[in-house]
Chain A
Amino acid sequence: MDITLQRVGYTYAAGTPFQKQALHDVDVRIPDGSYTAVIGHTGSGKSTLLQHLNALLKPTEGTVRVGDTVITKETKGKQLRSVRRKVGIVFQFPEHQLFEETVLKDVMFGPLNFGIPEAEAAARAEELLGLLGLPEGTAEKSPFDLSGGQMRRVAIAGVLAMDPDVLVLDEPTAGLDPSGRREIMDLFHRLHEERDMTTILVTHSMEDAARYADHVIVMHDGTDVLEGPPEDVFGDAGRLARWRLEVPRTVAFQREFERGAGLPEGPPCLTEEQLADYLAGAVKKGGGAR
């Protein structure tokens, strides 16, 4: 299911002294089955953009196309709901949305709202709790008795339980410890691979964007300024700096190495493993013979 935005603009509180244009002239395409990262400095409009993807916000200008549903500022209720069913969003600090008496009920909330039969919803919920690595017996606990990291996982399960075709993630790992962060990012990656879920990740971490995404959208001051594969986006430090972004740590290190070793800039290494291969190769080939 492709998602396309055409000349999308969004203004908060239009017509009041507090009005604020958060998006203008956004033209992007998120290919079906891709893992797309949206990056940009704070306030560049990432979260606003993301809320258009499942019709939580309707564009004040332009059109959003999700599969074959078209959303403009006139689109009404029913259609929005069908989009929401297909596109699940994990918001920043999603644990703040928990409310039920038990974890199981909370995870079932989404599926039940979309008319999934109770038994099936419960089965899905159980399965997901396991998949997310929550200990046995968590399902019957109150979500408020869990640790922060566990609450986060329950909330994520609650979104996955709707079995969306597209999964949208707004900084899903903020505030977690390093291993929690890695586990959750790996899980999303696995879901993307195994279930062919189109995944859209909003992140401040260039490392995560470089590591996981196959398509990157750069936002700057409310509009998309660059779209392309990570190899293109992360190759050029000077260009990213203009949008107040940095290259991933791996690329920064690679460039530093190349500079001192007198090598030309090679294609950017997006993961630590790639970088290690590249460095090991370059060192072994050596420069001493020259």
Chain B
Amino acid sequence: MERILSMEDIRFTYTPEETDKPYAVDGVSLDMHQGEWIAVVGHNGSGKSTLARLMIGLLFPQEGTVSLFGDALTEENLWDKRSQMGMVFQNPDNQFVGATVQDDVAFALENNGIPFEEMTVRVREALAQVKMERFLDHEPQHLSGGQKQRVAIAGALALRPRLLILDEATSMLDPQGREEVIRVILELREKTGLSVISITHDLEEALLADRIIVMNRGRKFAEGTPPEVFARGEELTSLGLDLPFAARMTGLLRERGLELEETMSERKLVESLWTSRSNG
């Protein structure tokens, strides 16, 4: 499998002159393969956004190297690499550049000098992927948060990127908007095999990923598949994280004397409750 992103021993601080301050990202290494979905979780200020900014060359690390699609990221190849990635941020209002939906989606295409005829095709295609094709001429103030975020995703997709980075793209949305956005991303992955890095505080969202990275005070605290990571239970809660609902319930039920296996999945939990009831 092709390696799409790798970071080696990255260190970064916003204040290099103040030596007593801790690094915002401190010694993080990371490898990502084509088609993977990685979720990054961690408390406020743990360095998640900084990490994302390092990935897309908005920041350059003081130590360590970032490689994208096989090459080290440099000032020279920055724009070329960026044209193969998309990034969506937290605040739906602050990333809507165009005056209408279609202008916004076209923005990255314009910047990359795509000819007009091609642009019209790609704008429609990208909007169809996020199910917003009926909103071509809508202005941002007439869209819901979830719709704006889907437009932002379309704006990233128009360039047909290989890697999509979402920095808390769902955190300012209501449950419905959040679900819309997550559904769109799940579908995209299924259809196009897009690689996704999603930074999130929503653990149920993190459960959907192939791999979870837990950040704590700038360092990588844990890494692994969702069951591997959440098996660390208490350790995570002490970092200000939470456990998924099923894991919390399992814990509470064990305290009440039920014998249950650890699980992240509500499906599995309810099934084992059914069995223990009928055997009980």
Residues of chain A whose beta carbon lies under 8 Å from any beta carbon of chain B: 41-43, 147-149, 174-180, 182, 204-205, 244, 246, 249, 253, 256-257, 260-261, 272-273, 275-277, 279-280, 282-288
Residues of B within 8 A of A178 (CB): 201, 203, 240-242
Residues of A within 8 A of B249 (CB): 253, 272, 275-276, 279
Residues of B within 8 A of A285 (CB): 280
Q: Which of B6-14, B22-30, B67-75, B250-258 contacts A (4 or more CB under 8 A)?
A: B250-258
Within the complex, which residue of B44, B203, B237, B252 is in contact with A176, where a contact is CB–CB below 8 Å?
A: B44
The residue on B at minimum CB distance from A179 is B240
Within the complex, which residue of B175, B253, B274 is in contact with A204, where a contact is CB–CB below 8 Å?
A: B175
Known: A276-B249, A276-B253. A177 touches B277 (CB 8 A): no
Kindly count the residue-residue contacts between A and B in the assembled complex, taking CB atoms under 8 Å apart: 106
Within the complex, which residue of A180, A244, A283 is in contact with B277, where a contact is CB–CB below 8 Å?
A: A283
Flag if B172 contacts A272 (CB, 8 Å): no
Q: A-facing mask of B267-280, CB < 8 A → 1, else 0?
A: 00011011011111
CA distance A205 to B245 in the complex (A): 14
Flag if B256 contacts A261 (CB, 8 Å): no
Q: Does B192 contact A (CB under 8 A)?
A: no
Flag if B279 contacts A257 (CB, 8 Å): no
Known: A179-B242, A276-B249. A43 touches B144 (CB 8 A): yes
Flag if B277 contacts A287 (CB, 8 Å): yes
The residue on A at minimum CB distance from B45 is A147
Flag if A279 contacts B274 (CB, 8 Å): no
Q: A-facing mask of B227-252, CB < 8 A → 1, else 0?
A: 00000000001001110010011001
Flag if A180 contacts B144 (CB, 8 Å): no
Flag if B44 contacts A149 (CB, 8 Å): yes
Q: Does B266 contact A (CB under 8 A)?
A: yes
Q: How large is the interface on B (under 10, 10 to 19, 20 to 34, 35 or more residues)?
A: 35 or more
Flag if A257 contacts B256 (CB, 8 Å): no
Flag if A260 contacts B44 (CB, 8 Å): no
CA distance A277 to B257 in the complex (A): 11
Can you name 4 extra interface pairs (CB under 8 A) apart from A284-B258, A284-B280?
A: A244-B176, A253-B249, A272-B249, A283-B280
Residues of A within 8 A of B248 (CB): 272
Residues of A within 8 A of B270 (CB): 253, 256-257, 260
Known: A178-B201, A283-B273, A287-B277. A246 touches B175 (CB 8 A): yes
A sample of 26 inter-chain contacts (CB < 8 A) reads: A41-B176, A149-B44, A174-B172, A175-B168, A177-B201, A178-B201, A179-B237, A180-B43, A249-B245, A253-B266, A256-B266, A256-B270, A260-B274, A261-B274, A261-B278, A272-B249, A276-B252, A276-B255, A277-B256, A279-B249, A283-B273, A283-B276, A283-B277, A284-B280, A287-B277, A287-B280
Q: Does B177 contact A (CB under 8 A)?
A: yes
CA distance A249 to B248 in the complex (A): 12
Known: A174-B171, A288-B279. A279 touches B45 (CB 8 A): no
CA distance A260 to B258 in the complex (A): 18
The 7 nearest A-B residue pairs measured at CB: A286-B280, A178-B242, A276-B252, A179-B240, A280-B256, A42-B174, A204-B174
Q: Does B92 contact A (CB under 8 A)?
A: no
Flag if A282 contacts B176 (CB, 8 Å): no
Known: A253-B266, A273-B252, A276-B253. A177 touches B280 (CB 8 A): no
The residue on B at minimum CB distance from A205 is B175
The residue on A at minimum CB distance from B269 is A253
CA distance A148 to B144 in the complex (A): 24
Q: Does B145 contact A (CB under 8 A)?
A: yes
CA distance A260 to B266 in the complex (A): 13
Shortest CB distance B109–A (Å): 30
Shortest CB distance A179–B (Å): 4
Residues of B within 8 A of A280 (CB): 253, 256-258
The residue on A at minimum CB distance from B238 is A179
Residues of A within 8 A of B145 (CB): 42
Flag if A180 contacts B242 (CB, 8 Å): no
CA distance A179 to B42 in the complex (A): 11
